Chains A and B, each alone.
Chain A
């Protein structure tokens, strides 16, 4: 089991380094998704399968897709003959190897787990839900208010069409 943790950790660190050092925003985002998948394998190994699923669905599935939408909307890093660059093996060989390592790691980790829940205490989503809606009820409501503020703020910022600049800042 420990070996799987170390493999996933190394994959996460390598892909994070590639993400923060890349030139092209889309490539960096794909490396960041790979890093999040590796961290979700770590969550699975840390007996938090619910959090691992949330990491894949919300982080890699929703937040990163938002990033990719904005990056594509802003047309960053688009070049001529993009497909010819994609067919260059140098472009995709490292992420493919890292993803294959992660997949093999995850499959072996699933196959090797055969302990019964009796001797091995896994925190189930039920316990998390009970704790969330009893002990942390006030925090849940505050988070709901924060999400509403986020929705209103994103709508306000996103719907502004005209240029809002103070008259002293206008260039003559």
Chain B
């Protein structure tokens, strides 16, 4: 039986989310940006599981399954867009794709 205080568990999820956010803001390589978004999705799911465990309800796990579906779609579309970007620009630098900026 886990008796870690729920504040510590939420803190762990928050730290993971923070790491993902830092990665998204700092890295300019688009693969790393997608990976950081993955980390943030995962930590959001972790908060749902923690809350579901705290109140002993299955709803947290149901929400995690929905997050899983959303993540799968996001990764598929994101990687397809990334392949197109690499095909056109021969780079994955997010700062190089600024044709719309005028």
Q: Is B73 an interface residue (CB 8 A)?
A: yes
Q: Are A20 and B32 in contact, with the CB atoms below 8 A? A: yes
Question: Given A20-B20, A48-B52, A54-B65, A154 and B77 touching (CB < 8 A)?
Answer: yes
**Residues A2 and B4 in contact in the complex (CB < 8 Å), given A13-B16, A51-B61:** yes
Closest approach, in angstroms, between the C-beta of A122 and any C-beta of chain B?
9
The yes or no answer to A87 lying at the interface (CB within 8 A) is no
User: Residues of A within 8 Å of B, CB-based: how many?
Assistant: 64
Q: Which residues of B contact A28 (CB under 8 A)?
A: 32, 35
Q: Which residues of B contact A153 (CB under 8 A)?
A: 76-77, 80
- A67 vs B34: C-alpha distance when bound (angstroms): 9
The answer to whether B99 touches A169, judged by C-beta atoms less than 8 angstroms apart, is yes
Q: Which residue of B lies closest to A4 (CB)?
A: B2
Chain A residues positioned under 8 Å from B15 (CB to CB):
13
Q: Which chain A residue shows the least CB distance to B53?
A: A46
Residues of A within 8 A of B23 (CB): 19-20
Q: Closest CB of chain B to A75's CB: distance in Å?
A: 10
B77 interface neighbour in A13, A16, A157, Cβ under 8 Å: A157
Most buried by A among B34, B35, B50: B35
Q: A7 to chain B: closest CB distance in Å? A: 12
Given A5-B4, A9-B12, A16-B16, decide whether A66 and B75 contact each other with a Cβ distance below 8 A.
yes
Chain A residues contacting B99 (CB-CB under 8 Å) are: 169
Closest to B88 in A: A163
Selected from B62, B69, B73, the residue in CB contact (under 8 A) with A128 is B62
* Cα-based distance from A48 to B49 in the complex (angstroms): 8
* Per-position binary interface string of chain A over residues 33-68, scored 1 when its CB falls under 8 Å from any chain B CB and 0 otherwise: 001100100110111101100100011001100110
Q: Min CB distance, B2 to chain A, in Å?
A: 5
How many angstroms from the CA of A110 to the CA of B86 in the assembled complex?
45
Given contacts A29-B35, A150-B76, A151-B76, 20 further A-B contacts (CB under 8 A): A1-B2, A2-B3, A5-B2, A13-B12, A20-B26, A32-B35, A46-B53, A47-B53, A48-B64, A59-B68, A59-B71, A67-B31, A67-B75, A70-B83, A73-B83, A123-B57, A127-B58, A128-B62, A131-B58, A150-B72
6 A–B contacts, CB within 8 A, in A order: A25-B32, A58-B68, A70-B82, A132-B65, A150-B72, A154-B76
Those 10 A-B pairs whose CB atoms lie nearest each other, nearest first? A20-B23, A150-B73, A157-B80, A127-B58, A154-B76, A46-B53, A143-B69, A131-B58, A154-B80, A128-B58
